[in-house]
Structure 1
């Protein structure tokens, strides 16, 4: 007959298992408490060290900085007044340090602030030097030194209007060294309307315009020279003036009908140019038209006789005029006696 044996755990083994479980729980609690104590101790130590550093180092040495930089100025003031701000670590590690010093943070100075800073701008001029046309414009001088192309016309008209806006009573000095709407070899570089645009702007101004030819005044540039205020048109002794008929632009790829239209427009511009030159030089239309049949060059003396200018500018004429005797001296030398009351 088989016998079945049942094995039951002894009481001693049960008690030992329960004892080991409770001891492990108590060990975990002890470890957690120890960790908390260590953390509190670290915090206390850090706070104590910060307090000691604050007491020992009331002021943090500050290196030289740019006073115009708002960020550095703010940091310097905070370091001087409350240095503990820099000793304590920021609460939020995701935020760059010291940004909480600003309501609206600004890490770097703006370019304009750097430009005005002492260290960057100490040994350099405050502003860039003006270009030469600006210096001339400050002296109310407008210089035409190129053929009359659209860019030149735009600049000259703008300068004339600006000078009238600045002072409508002071004269404007227009210096001319231009071949007009053509180059010196006769090739067309601009439309005749470029010269007419500057001429119309001159006629609309309230200022006196003193024109001076300093090199060449050819074609439309000669018209601008003659269009100056009466008695205020001058020419350098070795300058030259020349009047000629307008030229047809290159028309190699144009249809025949377009070439005819262009030719009619050039004839119209020629007639307008003749009338304007006749008006400002005092010559008849026929005289101007005959002179313009071929290029008509004039030196300073011939331009004065033709009515393009009023005076020739040359160094030394002031001394000659000062050496001329007064009218009374001329009368005495001629034996003329001035009667009283006459």
Structure 2
């Protein structure tokens, strides 16, 4: 691209002998470029320059005094554009001034926050808020190992709101080994694991709730816990022999689940097996009595709730008899 420069008026005295058509073309081109540049500069308004801006002021001074420094720049340069014009180039603010803190407790953080699981992990919180499918198991086990590697002495807080290996409608979405994988990882850790049920802890999730450190198992007042037998996944068009193999595996997982629940709830195997024949729901008080948790996370209402008479006692005092207990 050709650049037209505005030149001062010069009196030409060219001999007629050297005056030819080529020199005439060059002179006409210079005159035309000058007139076009003059018309463009008259029509296009220039944006105002902040006189207090040191970079723009320096750049304008260099362009006015020695424009060849801007036009004849080297092709390969290791510096940023036009910063080499300064004797000692300085940024307007250092990164430490722009980002004063990396904490996310400020009202206006200096940088976008990471994803929510990373923030919870920074607080040593592992949140299980989905059924135990392989992707959830992979993330939970990785977080547990990472927190132990970061500090093997600080406790880990596991918040549980999961329906286990089934959905809320009872459909199987994962194998029982997903819950056993998280359980085995919890047993191998050196850290204390504080478990908290914040919504539902059903099936394998109830086992994880009861597998926390003794005395550090908590439950929200309106959370629910439930233990049930493992279910056989959909057999589809499998042969009868394969269906039998799957049924035997489900029975094995049931026996393992009963033994682990009996160990952590301090109940007998027969007691756990009897209540597991049908889905056994527990509110926070019943879960505490059964041994799944150690404490209900009331907010200053421990004494009030301790003085409340249970529903069975209300019925007995009112003379109500249950004809056919369910």
Match of 2:74 in 1: 100
Match of 2:139 in 1: 155
Output one character per residue of 1:110-130: Cα deviation in whole Å (capped at 9) or x when no partner. Answer: xxxxxx99xxx9xx9642223
Output one character per residue of 1:84-116: Cα deviation in whole Å (capped at 9) or x when no partner. Answer: 345xxxxxxxxxx655254369889xxxxxxx9
Secondary structure of the structure 2 residue equivalent to 1:214: strand
Secondary structure of the structure 1 residue equivalent to 2:153: coil
Normalising to structure 1: TM-score of the pair?
A: 0.62
Taking the TM superposition and a 5 Å limit, the aligned residue runs for 1:162-311 are 162-311=146-295
1:241/1:318 CA distance change after superposition, 3 Å: closer
Match of 1:325 in 2: none
1:167/1:73 CA distance change after superposition, 3 Å: farther
Shift of 1:166: 2.0
CA RMSD of superposed structures (Å): 4.0
Output one character per residue of 1:209-257: Cα deviation in whole Å (capped at 9) or x when no partner. Answer: 1111111111000000000000111112222211111000111222222
Shift of 1:205: 1.1
Structure 1, unaligned runs of 5 or more = 1-29, 46-60, 87-96, 109-115, 322-342
Following the alignment from structure 1 to structure 2, what is the Cα–Cα distance between the partners of residues 186 and 316? Answer: 36
Higher helix share: 1
Contact 1:99/1:105 (8 A) holds in 2? no
Match of 1:4 in 2: none
Secondary structure of the structure 1 residue equivalent to 2:74: helix
Output one character per residue of 1:150-185: Cα deviation in whole Å (capped at 9) or x when no partner. Answer: 121122112212222222111111111111001122
Larger Rg: 1
Output one character per residue of 1:19-39: Cα deviation in whole Å (capped at 9) or x when no partner. Answer: xxxxxxxxxxx9885459959
Following the alignment from structure 1 to structure 2, what is the Cα–Cα distance between the partners of residues 157 and 302? Answer: 29
Contact 1:227/1:280 (8 A) holds in 2? yes
Secondary structure of the structure 2 residue equivalent to 1:100: coil
Are 1:316 and 2:290 counterparts? no
Normalising to structure 2: TM-score of the pair?
A: 0.65
Secondary structure of the structure 1 residue equivalent to 2:234: coil
Structure 2, unaligned runs of 5 or more = 1-14, 31-46, 83-93, 100-107, 306-326
1:260/1:83 CA distance change after superposition, 3 Å: same
1:267/1:106 CA distance change after superposition, 3 Å: same
Question: How many residue pairs are counted as aligned between the two chains?
Answer: 251
Following the alignment from structure 2 to structure 1, what is the Cα–Cα distance between the partners of residues 238 and 60? Answer: 76
1:102/1:161 CA distance change after superposition, 3 Å: same
Match of 1:3 in 2: none
1:34/1:219 CA distance change after superposition, 3 Å: same
Of 118, 122, 127, the residue aligned with 2:111 is: 127
1:292/1:81 CA distance change after superposition, 3 Å: farther
Of 117, 126, 130, the residue aligned with 1:146 is: 130
Secondary structure of the structure 2 residue equivalent to 1:277: helix
Following the alignment from structure 1 to structure 2, what is the Cα–Cα distance between the partners of residues 141 and 173? Answer: 5
Following the alignment from structure 2 to structure 1, what is the Cα–Cα distance between the partners of residues 80 and 17? Answer: 44
Shift of 1:133: 2.4
